[in-house]
Structure 1
Amino acid sequence: MATVWTIPIDITSRWLDNSEVQTFLASNDLDNAAPDPRVRFAQFADVTKSLERHIGHTFSSVQGAATALFDGIDGGVPVALKLAALRLILKEVYQTRHAPQPFPKRVGEELGTYVYALLDPRNRSVFYVGAGRGPRVYGYVWEALAENEHRQTLEDPETDSAEVKAATIARIREIYDSGHEVEHYIVAHRIADTGDVAGAVRRGVVGALGLNEGALLSNLAGGTGEHRAVPVDDLVLQYAAEPVPNLPTPCVVLEVPAASRRGVTQEEVYELSRGAWAAGAAVRNTDDIPVIVFADNIVRAAYRAKSWSSVARPGDAALWRFAGEPDTELESQFVNKRIVPAKVGLKKWPNHGWVPHLTQARPGR
């Protein structure tokens, strides 16, 4: 275990809520603290700005952290405020480094030539963008962590300059030393297959910029998936997954994009899946009708709908919300498997996400 001092992305809210800070601002009896509350507030504001400037930075010693945070502040910083800041950013980390594993060859074939981005989770910023094939997306992390066996699986040579390579590896090691892991995203793939290199480059640039915290690109308006950067793990799941078996008839297939969100719980997936949906009488009158929920072409959950209730939305057609229960048998058959529109007789998924599958012939209401 090692001790580091890392300024997290949510430092401002944590700093404002800190009890030591509140005591400093309210008390006139602290050592080395000015009796005038206006002076103390100005010192507090200076330290706040310094912490915000250093978001994402990690220091291996308390001296290094104190020098970077406080030495440039005119008039100095009271001891009580220094200690409060240093204690807040103190972190003990385990040095175990979980290197990403090579993905199956089939996944690499599906990805083709792709553009990828490496993201620093400490401040949610992209620090490297590259291109390649196969497991190239993991190349620099493997080199930084000395995973030489994994590096033997790389299919294409690294083309960056020595300076870029050194800077990237140094950043990766700093991220892991702070107790975090690099996040890997694919921002455009199958580039050689599209025939539209300029469009692929555009999607890659927009996708990479969209990863940055607070990105305001108008290209991202409406939440369209066209430019969305996708975590590598999600694409590996999608392309390595087995196809779903034949769907039960009747059933309902629901596309719920948020079901693939990182960290989403099963309870949240259920609430997201319930609707409102344009459920016709044929669906609502079928007892215990199976409900198959997917996102990014991967089944995420399976339920049995027990009842339906209307949702009042003025100006819209009747919409309905279901109440149901997870079905373990359906889950074992379908969850984490790949589903495509052709499975229900479609060429593409409808934008509204509602796909009743009432007969073997075609979808219906």
Structure 2
Amino acid sequence: MIKGFSHKTIEALGYYVYVYSDPDTRRPFYVGKGKGNRVFNHMDDQSENEKVRKINDIKARGKEPNIEILAHGLDEETAFKVEAAAIDLIGIENLTNRQRGHESSVYGKIEVSTLDARYSHEELDPNDVTDNIMFIRINKLYRNDMTPLELYEATRGYWKVNIEQARKVDYVLSVYDGMVLEAYAPAEWLPAKATFMERKDSRDAEGVADRYEFVGRIADVPVRKKYVDKSASLFFPPGNANPIKYVWGKK
């Protein structure tokens, strides 16, 4: 296997997306993006991680990983999107990548009806809000391929809230990128980590002393029809970074 590209090849490649595969099973185990000779750098990586362990295991068999360029001649933004799509297609659980692709929550694998709702949703009119609502933006936690349980857990904790106000809320609306993803009827608000969560970051006990979580259920169908798959952008002025927003209904 070559150890680097020629200067002419580097000029022609631009940004590219590459795949490392096991030479015996042909199964991909790492997807990356880069330019120049980035694709070869992993062969000399001395870090302590699963990718390096896999490469060293292959070397111990007297072989080298298969290295393939999936796409080239790209600009950097397109390379990010192709990388995210490749990771989503193979499945992060089948790779040694530590993270899903850049902006994969925006451009990665997504079910067609969810994608259509994201781009064609109608605006939620403030005058139509007849319930006491808490919007919770989960932009940093969201993934396109979340299960209903994962979405619920990402929404229900852990948040800095005014607990007296929170307990007056009828419904919690989970929001990503301005769109309402789901509506929950909270049964109770509790101190953070009062209940078990599956999600990995919930196991970190640091920094949650002044935060809360709720337990509840998915709202009834009439409530979901009123709020879910609608844009909540009118409720969040530009520059507002607070993930929590209360709206008191006009009943």
TM-score (norm 2): 0.52
Q: CA deviation at 1:327?
A: 1.7
1:68 is matched with none
Match of residue 261, structure 1, among 120, 123, 144: 144
Q: 1:285 to 1:320 in 2, by over 3 A?
A: same
Higher helix share: 1
* Counterpart Cα distance in 2 of 1:339 and 1:129: 38
Alignment of 1:337 with 2:230, yes or no, is yes
User: Which residue identity lines up with residue 123 of structure 2 in the other structure?
Assistant: P
In the TM superposition, what is the alpha-carbon distance from 1:267 to its structure 2 partner?
2.9
Cα deviation per residue 1:41-98 (whole Å; 9 max; x = unaligned)?
xxxxxxx85332699xxxxxxxxxxxxxxxxxxxxxxxxxxxxxxxxxxxxxxxxxxx
Find the counterpart in structure 1 of residue 187 from structure 2: 306
Following superposition, the deviation at residue 318 of structure 1 comes to 0.9
Map 1:1-365; keep pairs closer than 5 Å. Answer: 49-52=23-26, 201-213=75-87, 214=95, 225=103, 229-231=107-109, 233=112, 234-246=114-126, 247-248=129-130, 250-257=132-139, 258-262=141-145, 264-286=146-168, 288-311=169-192, 313-315=205-207, 318-328=210-220, 329-340=222-233, 343-348=234-239, 350=241, 353-358=243-248
Amino-acid identity (%): 15
Q: Is the 1:303–1:330 contact (alpha carbons within 8 Å) kept by the matching residues of 2?
A: no
Q: Flag structure 2 segments of 5+ consecutive residues without an equivalent.
A: 1-20, 30-67, 88-94, 194-204
User: By how many angstroms is 1:299 displaced?
Assistant: 1.5
Alpha-carbon separation, structure 2, partners of 1:248 and 1:270: 23
Q: Contact conserved, 1:254 with 1:292, CA < 8 A, in 2?
A: yes
Q: Cα gap change, 1:227/1:295 in structure 2, threshold over 3 Å: closer, same or farther?
A: closer
Q: What is the total number of aligned residue pairs between the two structures?
A: 168
Q: 1:355 Cα deviation (Å)?
A: 2.4
TM (norm. structure 1) is: 0.37
Counterpart Cα distance in 2 of 1:255 and 1:356: 12
Residues 304 and 325 in structure 1, CA contact (< 8 A), matched pair in contact too: yes
Summarize the Cα distance change of 1:273–1:243 in structure 2 as closer, same or farther, 3 Å threshold: same
User: 2:105·2:142 contact (CA, 8 Å) conserved in 1?
Assistant: no
Query: What residue ranges of structure 1 are gaps of 5+ in the alignment?
Result: 1-11, 13-47, 56-124, 132-200, 361-365
Secondary structure, counterpart of 1:291 in structure 2: strand
SS of 1:276's equivalent in the other structure is strand
Q: Could you say which structure has the larger radius of gyration?
A: 1
How many Å separate the matches in 1 of 2:115 and 2:71?
A: 19
Displacement of 1:235: 4.4
CA distance in 2, matches of 1:273, 1:321: 9
Higher strand share: 2
What amino acid is aligned across from residue 244 of structure 1 in structure 2?
A: L
